[in-house]
């Protein structure tokens, strides 16, 4: 089949409202060639509009179905997280570090957001202890632990990051951009600001919230 015949067949198929993909499969020619032939042809643009109108409901339904499947799978994943949390609490209930980590988070941790397992404090020992807790009980060596600082305007960000990097053992690259807090006072008592330490993980956040929900029943 010569070039002219192929193009004629392509025109016929296009006028039958066939998509570039369909024509490409039938005639075994690249979609880029079809685009060159039809992209500036008025009647081809009308075909394109009709195809979009025809496929939009189907495409939308497919997306909704895929989203429903994804959400269902995620919900099962989070159910697993809560189940694992219950098993781990029973396993580690007599471990001082584990219970101390939960106590720290109970008092200082974020309980509002869905995806952030994070604790905020200005005490180096609190932050250091929570880092050890994350490493041992939250897969901290494999999850990406990050840190951020809240600083008064008189503090040097680089020096403060260096300080908290030594406390946590985290590389300076793990620190987000520091947030500067404006104050009317020229100097403040917090020499190195406030550190936020955390992991971005919905799975781990579900586990933490389940630990906090269950732990009161272990206190007698």
What percent of the chain is predicted at pLDDT more than 70? Answer: 81
Would you list the domain boundaries of the chain?
96-218
When pLDDT is cut at 50, 70 and 90, the band that residue 1 belongs to is low
Residue 76 pLDDT more than 90?
no
Tell me the C-alpha distance between 41 and 36, whole Å: 10
pTM above 0.75, yes or no: no
Average pLDDT score over the chain: 85
Q: What is the mean pLDDT of residues 62-84?
A: 73
Q: What's the pLDDT score for residue 93?
A: 93
Backbone angles phi, psi at 122, to 5 degrees: -100, -5
The tens digit of pLDDT for each residue in 110-163 reads 999 999 999 999 999 999 999 999 999 998 666 789 999 999 888 999 999 999
Q: What are the CA-CA distances from residue 25 to residues 152, 153, 169 (Å)?
A: 64, 64, 57
Q: What are the CA-CA distances from residue 78 to residues 70, 115, 136, 212 (Å)?
A: 12, 12, 21, 16
Q: What is the mean pLDDT of residues 93-119?
A: 94
């Amino acid at each position: 089949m010569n070039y002219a015949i192929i193009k004629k067949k392509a025109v016929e198929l296009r006028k039958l409202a066939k998509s570039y993909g369909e024509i490409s499969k039938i005639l075994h020619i690249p979609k880029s060639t079809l685009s060159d032939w039809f992209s500036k042809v008025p009647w081809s643009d009308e075909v394109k509009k009709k195809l979009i109108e025809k496929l939009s409901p189907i495409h939308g339904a497919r997306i909704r179905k895929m989203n429903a499947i994804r959400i269902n799978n995620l919900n099962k994943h989070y159910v697993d997280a809560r189940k694992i949390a219950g098993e781990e609490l029973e396993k580690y209930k007599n471990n001082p570090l584990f219970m101390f980590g939960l106590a720290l988070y109970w008092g200082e941790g974020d309980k509002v957001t869905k995806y952030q397992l994070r604790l905020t404090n200005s005490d180096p020992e609190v932050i250091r202890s929570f880092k050890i807790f994350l490493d041992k009980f939250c897969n901290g060596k494999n999850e990406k632990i990050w840190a951020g600082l809240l600083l008064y305007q008189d503090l040097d960000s680089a020096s403060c990051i260096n300080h908290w990097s030594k406390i946590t053992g985290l590389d300076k690259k793990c620190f987000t951009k520091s947030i500067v807090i404006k104050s009317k006072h020229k100097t403040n008592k917090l020499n190195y600001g406030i550190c936020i330490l955390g992991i971005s993980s919905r799975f781990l956040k579900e586990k933490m919230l389940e630990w906090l929900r269950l732990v009161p029943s272990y206190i007698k």
